Amino acid sequence: MPDVLGNEEREAEAVRKLGRWRDQTRTRILLAFAALGLVLAIPGYSIVQDLQFRYNGNVALLMVNVGVGVVVPFVTMMLVGRFVGNRVVAARIDAKVAELAKAYEIPPEKLNETATLVRQL
């Protein structure tokens, strides 16, 4: 009789590791793009302010400077980071499933079910 409880525990741990890997990968990529968004926001503020001074009769609104020069680049980079993170996870998940299946001695089909759900999130 096979060790059913041990097999279920290994499978559950492999699923947890797969989820943790997905979260860590996406978070690292998102943080990199957030940092890039902050770097772009610094000159963005000045550029928008200079454009307002030039084309708005030497008047610049702080809300426009922050909204267009800081918020737009930051949010754009966050959205791009989310997209890139999802694409990277989708591209690498099959290799991670094979690695975890081998490490935990479980059939890859069990993890592929979870991988299919992860791709949809």
CA distance 34 to 79: 9
Element (H, E) at 56: none
User: Over the stretch 33-79, which tens digit does the pLDDT of each residue have?
Assistant: 999 999 999 999 999 999 999 999 999 999 999 999 999 999 999 99
For residue 42, give both structure tokens. Answer: 């610094």
User: Over the stretch 2-27, which tens digit does the pLDDT of each residue have?
Assistant: 555 588 888 889 999 999 999 999 99
